[in-house]
Amino acid sequence: MDHFNYRAGLLHAEDVAIPEIAGTVGTPFYVYSAATLRRHFQVFDDALAGMDHLVCYAVKANSNLAVLKLLGDMGAGMDVVSAGEYLRAKAAGVPGERIVFSGVGKTREEMRIALEGGIRQVNLESEPEMLALQEVASSLGVTVPVTIRVNPDVDAKTHEKIATGKSENKFGIPIARARGAYGETAAQPNLRVVGVDVHIGSQLTDLAPYRAAYTKVAELTEQLRADGHEISRLDLGGGLGIPYEASNTAPPLPADYGAVVRETVGQLGCEIEIEPGRLIAGNAGLMVARTIYVKQGEGRKFLILDAAMNDLVRPAMYEAHHDIVPVIAPEPGLEQEHYDIVGPVCESGDTFAKARSLAPVGPEDLIAFRSAGAYGAVMASEYNSRPLIPEVLVDGDQFAVVRARPSYAEMLARDAVPDWL
């Protein structure tokens, strides 16, 4: 469920008409619904009601400071994978004791920033990383709560580029080697083992892989406790999918996911941490673009937009689908046409959809990409020297620009020409 609906023939974000935003900030732009963000966080929090738990929003899905503050004010923890994300979470007012540091390649400098600023735990991904963290913690004279991310060799049945729990993926320590890794970690004077971490992938639409992975985690937890380790937390990752196509069967609900958590690890008495990102932010955002030209090709019609692959890379990178809808609702009964929907970047890969059915679209018409709140703005670039597009937050009948579009002068000012040229 989201809060983007038609009223009197105009697409609205909550109580604000999309054309009003377009007239204020120009196109293209991202717009996020505060009500949807709040609802999706609450649904996840409710799914684990009755269990000791912390919902740690995956900052990589959408790291805008306004989004982080909104969720942090609701009590969300944050799952970060870089020093930059850590500092964003802190800037949004989230205390260190609610921030979990994940990621396969943390540098010593990133570790230092997190340890000096305060951290709930560090999720270790390898033995070399464990030794590096011990070195940094010792130099600072602190003791760090840690988990070890185990790779359970479970196929998440998702896109190969976002699967993280198979043996060939770069993430975590093979679960068969975990007990030895825990023994080595526990021997480090500045590291304190507190739990187990697992994350098998993103955009999962089936609960069976979760059940398989969490069952393995439960077995490992019992073994580690028998080895003398005090396992009090289980970080179970995120990855629950969202419906990108209105016509598709909806993925499992957070409540169903919560039931799997209870069935597989609920008996262990551990605090549960989960790291949803896409499910909280994905359907809470639109990307809105304007048609520049409608071009007749050989046997096809091109809808050329002012948005491009640098603004929303998911279709080019993952062959991802986004529902695309007109901002002004078409008259009932209009015969639909087929369009290849493309951007102006000089790449054939700058294609959002092929042969997509839409009511007739003309130049200057506004269209909206649904389910663009996650992995949209955060993955954008300035390829072709195109400015990053604005982000807007709507809350009821008010809206604000929460990241402005840079001017060309601001873009150019970031470069420097050496004196000798």
Residues annotated as catalytic (active site), given as ranges: 346
The contacts found for 64-68 with CB under 8 angstroms, 24 or more apart, are 64/32, 64/377, 64/391, 64/393, 64/402, 64/403, 65/91, 65/92, 65/402, 66/32, 66/393, 66/400, 66/402, 67/32, 67/37, 67/281, 67/393, 67/402, 68/92, 68/94
Query: Given its phi and psi angles, is residue 98 left (phi above 0), alpha (psi -120 to 50 degrees) or beta?
Result: alpha
Kindly give, in sequence order, each residue whose CB lies less than 8 Å from that of residue 301, ignoring residues fewer than 6 positions away: 294, 295, 337, 338, 339, 340
Unique residue bearing structure tokens 């959408």: 62
CA distance 25 to 39: 26
User: For 26-126, where are the alpha helices, taking DSSP H only?
Assistant: 34-47, 65-73, 83-91, 108-117
What is the distance between the alpha carbons of residues 21 and 41, in angstroms, rounded to a whole number? 25
Cα–Cα distances (Å) from 289 to 50, 88, 143, 301, 327, in that order, read 43, 28, 50, 18, 10
Q: What is the DSSP letter of 248?
A: S
